[in-house]
Amino acid sequence: ELGHAFIYALLGTPPEGRVNAEYLAFHESAADCVAMIAVLDFDTVVDRLLERTHGNIYLSNELNRIGELSETQQIRLASQSLKLADVPDLRTPVARLSQPQRHAMSQPLTGAVFDVLVEVFQEMLVQNGLISRELDDLSRQEENPPGEIVQAEFDRAYAGRHDKFKGALLDARDYLGRCLAAAWRTLSWDLSYGKVAAALLSADRELAGGAGREIMLESLLWRGIELPFRTGRRTYRERVATARAGRW
């Protein structure tokens, strides 16, 4: 709910008759993103998260389960593979839009933001010599990911390095939190997912010199969130070469 309050304060409320599905879906996504960033400010949660996952935070855990109902049930998952093509059309008239549909529309954007958090975290682990580039690559395979192999590698890398993994995760949290805050300040109620994506890239450029640009592009475009300008998108291997030399 704090996330909703932020968005109302920063973006305002559309005039009567101007509310659209994209604005409502963005509201839900922003609220979930605030919850993710906020929960990482609790040391006990961060410690428990890392002790359970050993840094492999794509696993089901306290961070990516939004609105936990039990140990195995939650309202939404931030770690999911939904794309815009998988959810109701963002152009759906608000009058025909149910609350579950609004939440469904929000999930591709929330998933992209969560992916940015994970990818920045893992990039920091690589740059600090805590995991190998091979493990980073292996962990993001879209088809038939070798889960047991990936987890075994994270188990080995994490052993005796809790504080270093924690430092990287908190740095990734701060990077993403600042990018979200800076991006949202530039938006108005008359928004689109494309404008949100452009604002995130602009925030990354301002705050981190563009260090996260390729990670953001990859995450957003994979979800079907198109930007309102040409991206000059590079291949994944070109992104890796850039990120290796980057600073957060």
Is there a contact between 140 and 56 (Cβ–Cβ < 8 Å)?
no
Strand-pairing partners, residue 76, are 66
pLDDT at 5 over 80: yes
pLDDT at 160 (0 to 100): 96
Per-residue confidence band for 141, with pLDDT thresholds at 50, 70 and 90: confident
Q: Cβ contacts of residue 172 below 8 Å, gap of 6+?
A: 117, 120, 121, 124, 248
Query: Residue 224 in 3-state DSSP?
Result: coil
Q: With bands split at pLDDT 50, 70 and 90, how would you rate the model's confidence at 239? A: low
Kindly tell me the burial class for residue 163, based on how many C-beta atoms sit within 10 Å of its own C-beta (0-12, 13-18, 19 or more): exposed
**Of 214, 223, 217, nearest to 245 (Cα)?**
214
Q: What is the pLDDT of residue 236?
A: 46
Whole-model pTM?
Answer: 0.88
pLDDT in tens, 193-210: 999 999 999 999 999 999
What is the distance in angstroms between the CA of the first residue and the CA of the last residue of the chain?
30
- CA 22 to mean position of chain CA atoms: 18
Element spanning 174, H or E: helix 162-185
The answer to whether 7 and 30 are in contact (CB under 8 A) is: yes
Pair of tokens at residue 89: 């059309």
Q: Tokens in use for 196?
A: 């949100």
